[in-house]
Homo-oligomer: A and B are copies of this chain.
Amino acid sequence: MVLVDPSDRAEKPAAVEPRERILSAAGREFAERGYESTTVRDICLAAGVNVAAVNYYFGDKQRLYIESVKHAHEQRAGQVPLPEWAAGTPPARKLQDFIANFLERMLGFGQPPWQVRLMMREVLHPTDACRELVEDYVRPRFELLVSILDELVDGQLSQTELRRVALSIIGQCFLYRAAGAVVGMLVPREELKSHHSLAPLADHVTSYALAALGKARPLVDTRQQTLHVREEASS
């Protein structure tokens, strides 16, 4: 006979609703191992509840998964809100801020956020929870980026071109989150920190974009290069 004293039941923060504990534990497990590989027994063990609790509170595993994706999404949305700027902020500055914010959100410096990893899974292998996630979470950011770019180039690019540039920027940030392990294998060990730190990355992506759009000097200063070009021309 096991009598559970309410005071020693609290491995987690005390007095949190079981439903919440399950959602949180499920999010972590799903983010780590994926849907198929995580068992409801693992989730319940991590949450400190009986196996039957999942079905009691959520009906079945699938509905728990969808709920945990939404839960992660909501938590994360409040955690790193969209940046806001005073009127008259130069668009180049907005772009810089946006990229830093986006990277912050994706890579979650400081604490590795399982919420992002869970949503990333949803983006990479869409299930039913995906469309809703895109509309609520991805599209607003995407269109904010497009509008910043539009302002930056002063309406000189078509919407199609703007979206292409936006996707270029997102792709650069995306790679580090989605394929971080492979990136880690490609760059030398001692260089890894500089590839996974916020500031250098954000600077690179920003100046790369600004240079491509003609709003900053190219990464290579072409004026100092004339001599080399001449040498090369002989081959």
Contact = CB atoms under 8 A, between A and B. Distances in A.
The count of identical subunits is 2
Given A185-B131, A229-B154, A215 B222 contact: yes
22 contacts: A34-B34, A36-B36, A87-B235, A123-B179, A126-B182, A134-B182, A139-B185, A142-B186, A154-B225, A154-B232, A155-B228, A156-B220, A163-B191, A167-B186, A168-B204, A171-B176, A174-B174, A211-B213, A211-B214, A213-B219, A214-B218, A229-B234
Given A135-B185, A154-B232, 7 more contacts: A34-B125, A36-B37, A123-B179, A154-B228, A155-B228, A209-B212, A222-B230
Interface in A55-110: 87-88
Given A191-B163, A218-B213, A134 B229 contact: no
A161 B221 CA distance: 14
Interface string A156-195: 1100110111011011111110110111011100010011
Interface residues of A, number: 72
Nearest to A170: B175
A114 interface: no
A205 interface: yes
Nearest first, the 3 closest Cβ-Cβ pairs linking A and B are A214-B218, A171-B175, A36-B36
Contact of A214 (B153, B178, B187, B222): B222
A226 interface: yes
B138 A186 contact: yes
A12 interface: no
